């Protein structure tokens, strides 16, 4: 029989309401007992799973780069065709009325046939009273459950219904089902419209199940029961068929009549199939036993309440565990799996209507320091406050989830544009940045957010999550609070992943070259060379340095590239020193290199191995080295300068330039970024910035080098402003080692003290 329910959504499609979730999140840490059973909105969409693989921006969810079609996830494979999604979304508007009308017709027909033939509607005597007592116990059990369990949550009612059907026919089974619906409905005071629909579905299910005995040639009634003595091997298919038809009919009608509209095939339905298998097994196993006891020892029938209630308890525990898989145990928010499923539904709907959807991934900055300082329990309490605040500021229709640790996500099922999604992300980050109170201690936690939009950035849930993750790490790295995904900054598209593999092979084969660009003083002396990486791909041709260096930085290959450049540059310096050319060489290093343990010692070891004095090497760094782990960066830089290696501050004037950083960095040279130098002759503001920078650097005892000098007028202006040296095409483009050697020899021979003629333009 079908238990009465006031709900209209299948389980696993429900998560806690705001009030229930807040209550769930305040009582303790992860894994505590007593979390509320989810109720709320439907996550919809198909199943997908993603695993958190580490803190790097690449690869937190899904495969690298994500699938470009709808076949990327393990659950949403190519076998799950669109027609199945459309079928699951079908909700005929007149189906509930048709179900009620059909059930009424079946009920009237059954009563008419029984009464016109003079048959009894229900067994009399001990058997009838025993069934009535057992039915009453089942009703009491269903009432005390106090939850909506109509989607396969119980097995007691169906088992009892099938037993009566096998023994006495389908009309008495209908009466028992109606009695349970009425009694449970009256006890729970649910809405009667839904009660009528549920009862009608159960009537049709019982009618379909009656075909099972009919296959065996049996047509049981109260006067002519289908006795166990008459059962043979041929009764097994009939019993199994009766259980299968009952479950299939009732569950299908429930889904298409009552479940929310979705184009995806929910995990709820997939997981429910497993539970329906358990219910079916119980029906086949328990119902015949009930019949046997009813025939031989009817007084023992009420004892079947014990195994039936145990069956319900088992199914309820299985359901609760499955629901736990969709909820974060600490905050009560939905988790990553739920988010992916819900995102699939949102993307399906957006694709159908031609709308946009967006995903915002939010990560708290430096939250680890809170755990390290105040402890993990305090960190958990802060996460609860963050989750509550996130719920309060969500835009209408948006849904939030906790992906793990200090990482949250917000799904915008419908958004007007990328700009509007970015605006929402900024409002969320701003709200999370408001002060938080923890036992009288006021804390301010900053957050970074990444935004990815369907269909511009990805066409599947896993890809959208991964691209939002990439954008979030861009925002965290550049400290811009919010970033929208850009393919040019993503090192994990299929094309860029292929380029990464090729770069790794090129480094192993020594196919990456170093070119050297001179830095020249205004008196014509060569103050140094900068080593610049160049790579000619065998198929793509010359690959822009910005492209493959960005790939190396986001993939973890940067330390390998830095080692290669240092090794190659020092080997060349050793060759030049052997030839009497003692010009120092500068090598760019990334913040990741500086933060790597033992970096200073490794550089000193390479200098010793090549026999190059430390003063012949200069490392160019940016101020970003102090943003991630200032103490470690300071220790590494102090170790390098302690070994005698010179330091140069590159790209000064861009990003997060500050006097505090300039004071803390042990540099001897400051390089003015080309963006200021390029318009020096025509932009008075840029000229003033350069003048102030030169004065500031000289007041700190630093040498100033201007990058990107390409014309005589800029040269003259820089000389007038007191700049110490220049670098750019006006002097020379970056040259291979052989050309650099010849260029240095020519400068040495001529001992020129004035600028040589402008060389022909070379591709840098």
pLDDT, mean of each 10-residue run, the chain (764 residues): 38 38 36 34 33 35 35 37 53 75 83 77 84 83 58 65 85 80 64 70 84 84 82 82 84 71 48 62 79 87 84 74 74 84 83 89 83 80 88 88 88 90 91 83 85 89 88 84 82 70 90 94 90 91 86 81 94 93 92 85 92 93 73 84 89 60 78 84 84 89 91 90 91 92 83 46 40
HSE at residue 184, side-chain half, CA atoms within 13 A, is 34
Q: Are 270 and 47 in contact (CB under 8 A)?
A: yes
Tokens 């959807």 — which residue?
Answer: 357
Q: Are 705 and 726 in contact (CB under 8 A)?
A: yes
Q: How far is CA 133 from the centre of its chain?
A: 52
**Distance between CA 61 and CA 82 in Å, rounded?**
24
**Rounded (5°) CA angle 548-704-591:** 35
pLDDT at res. 77? 36
pLDDT at res. 63? 34
- Check the CA dihedral 690-692-693-698 and report its sign: positive
pLDDT at res. 335? 85
pLDDT at res. 726? 93
**Distance between CA 436 and CA 438 in Å, rounded?**
7
pLDDT at res. 673? 84
What does each C-alpha distance from 345 to 53, 95, 335, 356 come to in angstroms?
Answer: 25, 23, 16, 13
**Rounded (5°) CA angle 719-725-728:** 100
pLDDT at res. 60? 36
The per-type count for the chain, helices as H runs and strands as E runs, is 28, 16
**Domains in the chain, please, with CATH?**
94-325 (no CATH), 336-484 (3.30.70.270), 495-752 (3.20.20.450)
Q: How many CB atoms are located within 10 Å of the residue 539 CB?
A: 5
User: Which residue from 125, 133, 121, 189 is spatially nearest to 160, judged by alpha carbons?
Assistant: 133
Instruction: Give DSSP secondary structure letters for 155-189.
Output: SHHHHHHHHHHHHH-HHHHHHHHHHHHHHHHHHHT
Q: Are 693 and 653 in contact (CB under 8 A)?
A: yes
**DSSP β-ladder status, 646-652 and 669-672:** parallel
User: Which residue from 688, 691, 635 is spatially nearest to 664, judged by alpha carbons?
Assistant: 635
pLDDT at res. 341? 80
Residue 125: exposed, middle, or buried by beta-carbon count in 10 A (0-12, 13-18, 19+)? exposed
Task: Reduce the DSSP state of residue 543 to 3 states and report it.
Answer: strand
DSSP H helices in 401-509: 418-432, 461-478, 494-509
Quote the DSSP letter at residue 97.
H
């Amino acid at each position: 029989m079908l238990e009465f329910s006031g709900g209209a959504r299948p389980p696993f499609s429900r998560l806690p309401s705001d009030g229930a979730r807040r209550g769930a999140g305040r009582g303790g840490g992860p894994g505590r007992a007593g979390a509320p059973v989810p109720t709320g909105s439907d996550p919809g969409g198909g199943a997908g799973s993603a695993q958190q693989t580490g803190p790097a921006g690449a690869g937190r969810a899904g495969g690298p780069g994500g699938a470009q079609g709808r076949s990327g996830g393990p659950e949403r494979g190519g076998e799950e065709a669109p027609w199945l999604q459309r079928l699951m979304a079908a909700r005929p508007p007149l189906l509930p009325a048709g179900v009620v009308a059909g059930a009424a017709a079946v009920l009237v027909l059954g009563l008419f046939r029984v009464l016109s033939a003079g048959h009894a509607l229900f067994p009399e005597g001990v058997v009838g009273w025993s069934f009535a007592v057992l039915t009453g116990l089942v009703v009491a059990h269903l009432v005390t459950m106090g939850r909506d369990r109509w989607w396969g949550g119980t097995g007691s009612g169906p088992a009892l219904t099938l037993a009566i059907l096998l023994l006495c026919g389908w009309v008495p089974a209908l009466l028992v089902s109606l009695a349970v619906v009425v009694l449970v409905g009256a006890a729970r005071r649910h809405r009667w419209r839904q009660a009528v629909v549920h009862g009608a579905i159960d009537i049709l299910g019982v009618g379909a199940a009656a075909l099972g005995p009919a296959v065996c040639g049996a047509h049981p009634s109260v006067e002519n029961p289908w006795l166990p003595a008459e059962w043979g091997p041929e009764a097994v298919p009939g019993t199994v068929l009766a259980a299968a038809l009952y479950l299939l009919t009732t569950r299908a009608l429930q889904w298409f009549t009552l479940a929310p509209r979705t184009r995806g095939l929910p995990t709820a339905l997939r997981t429910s199939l497993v539970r329906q298998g358990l219910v079916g097994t119980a029906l086949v196993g328990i119902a015949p036993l009930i019949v046997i006891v009813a025939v031989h020892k009817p007084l023992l029938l009420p004892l079947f309440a014990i195994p039936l209630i145990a069956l319900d308890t088992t199914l309820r525990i299985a359901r609760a565990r499955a629901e736990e898989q969709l909820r974060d145990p600490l905050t009560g928010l939905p988790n990553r799996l739920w988010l992916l499923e819900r995102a699939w539904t949102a993307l399906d709907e957006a694709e159908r209507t031609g709308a946009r959807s967006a995903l915002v991934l939010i990560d708290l900055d430096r939250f680890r320091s809170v755990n390290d300082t105040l402890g993990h329990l305090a960190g958990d309490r802060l996460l609860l406050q963050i989750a509550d605040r996130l719920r309060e500021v969500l835009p209408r229709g948006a849904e939030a989830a906790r992906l793990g640790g200090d990482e949250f996500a917000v799904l915008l099922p419908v958004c007007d544009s990328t700009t509007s999604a970015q605006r929402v992300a900024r409002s969320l980050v701003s709200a999370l940045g408001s002060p938080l109170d923890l036992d009288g201690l006021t804390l301010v936690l900053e957050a970074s957010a990444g935004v990815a939009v369907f269909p511009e950035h990805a066409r599947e849930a896993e890809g959208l999550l991964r691209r939002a993750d990439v954008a979030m790490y861009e925002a965290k790295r550049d400290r811009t609070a919010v970033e929208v995904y850009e393919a040019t900054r993503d090192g994990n598209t299929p094309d860029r992943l292929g380029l990464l593999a090729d770069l790794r092979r090129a480094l192993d084969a020594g196919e990456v070259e170093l070119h050297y660009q001179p830095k020249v003083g205004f008196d014509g002396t060569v103050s140094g060379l900068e080593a610049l990486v160049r790579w000619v791909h065998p198929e793509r041709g010359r690959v822009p340095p910005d492209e493959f260096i960005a790939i190396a930085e986001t993939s973890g290959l940067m330390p390998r590239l830095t080692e290669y450049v240092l090794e190659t540059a020092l080997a060349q310096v050793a060759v030049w020193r052997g030839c009497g050319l003692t010009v120092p060489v500068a090598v760019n290093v990334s913040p990741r290199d500086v933060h790597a343990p033992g970096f200073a010692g490794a550089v000193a070891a390479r200098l010793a191995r090549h026999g190059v004095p430390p003063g012949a090497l200069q490392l160019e760094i940016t101020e970003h080295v102090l943003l991630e782990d200032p103490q470690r960066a300071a220790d590494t830089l102090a170790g390098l300068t302690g070994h005698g290696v010179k330091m140069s501050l590159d790209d000064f004037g861009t990003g997060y330039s500050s006097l505090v950083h300039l004071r803390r960095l042990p540099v001897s040279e400051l390089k003015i970024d080309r963006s200021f130098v390029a318009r020096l002759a025509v932009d008075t503001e840029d000229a003033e910035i350069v003048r102030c920078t030169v004065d500031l650097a000289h007041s700190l005892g630093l040498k100033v080098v201007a990058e990107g000098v390409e014309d005589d007028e800029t040269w003259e202006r820089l000389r007038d402003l007191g700049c110490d040296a220049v670098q750019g095409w006006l002097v020379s483009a970056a040259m291979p080692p052989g050309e650099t050697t010849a260029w240095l020899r020519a400068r040495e021979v001529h001992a020129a003290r004035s600028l040589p003629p402008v060389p022909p333009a070379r591709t840098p």
